[in-house]
Structure 1
Amino acid sequence: MKYRAVFVAAPLLVTAYGALRIVDGLDGSRGPGPAWTAGHLAFLAALVLFVPIFWEMRRMLGRSAPATAAVAVGLAGIGCAFAQFSIDVVVGFMAADHDAMTPLFEQVKSVPGVSVAVYTAGPILFYLALAALVAALAVRRQVAAWVPVAVLLSVLLPLASLDLMPLGGLLMFAAFLPLARQGSSTGRHASVHA
């Protein structure tokens, strides 16, 4: 199945970002450096993989209007999160040390709308769409009831502490395994009956 790899790789890349973030902070500060860059690149790759994941979930839901709307919201959120992590990578390359990163981030956030779109509200759209799509699959009994619960926990854990992101990534990995097994065949079945 062509989507199996993305359903597996995306949450593992999220887990890798979380683990690298912890490693990056072992010296008492985060960024710049190899762990900062590698972690952010891992999350950027995960975001790219969520695009086909969202499209596949839309197919599994029969390409309905609500599923299409959720994907549109999710893609907007992915774009905002991608911008955030790209900025973080660039700042990491530009700054000589951790203290030099702060004024660079402040300069970026001083641009009107950037702070809200890129650092607060925008990326939340990605997580809301992800939760909505998986919940819709559970309502249609295409996945077990525990799957959206695991996805929701994977989203909420980092809000409690970003150090819990590796655990959140592993929960998402577990939740995506049934989706990886169903993938395209479920999507074709759902679209025939839409």
Structure 2
Amino acid sequence: MSTFLTMEFAGTVGADRSGPYDLLRDAATTTEWVRGHAADLGVAPDFTASEELREQTVRLRQAVRALLARAIAPAPPSGADAADLPGFAESLTLVNATALAAPTAPQLTWTGEPALTTVPAVKASTSARLRGRLATAAVVFLAGPGRTLLRTCGAPRCVLYFVKEHPRQEWCSPACGNRARAARHYREHKK
């Protein structure tokens, strides 16, 4: 679950044929995204996000994306927001602090290789618990074996991270693979 939820959360910002998108662009779209993941996030199906929750969730997303970028280094980070990502230390602190609101709080330590420890969580609001679960999923993923399979999609205009499921996988989806092959064909035959 942590891999799925982390990739879904990090993928709330991206690009498609019509351009860049942000699935957490306002309280209404944040509400829709959270309701679609209500079981994983431990919220009621009628959950409604406030603007404050949206802002805090976007800040957490940027921190998670910064840690994903660090995990794939020295490969380049996703082009979606690489210039806007917070620093590594700030991101690690935010993700760990946010995870404290989950029922149990895994904490990520990163001296050499990432490692996972668990501490008791503090009592928190629904909003904090929701973000705590998102942070917990990221911590568990980044400290686990799936981190070594994390990649940035190299297709034109794609800005997603993905977990490599096959040795020959280069893109996050077949559609991105098709787009990359079409762009390569165009470049080769444009001359």
The TM-score normalised by the length of structure 2 is 0.29
Of structures 1 and 2, the one with the larger relative CO (CA 8 A, separation 6+) is 1
The TM-score normalised by the length of structure 1 is 0.28
In terms of fraction of residues, the more strand-rich structure is: 2
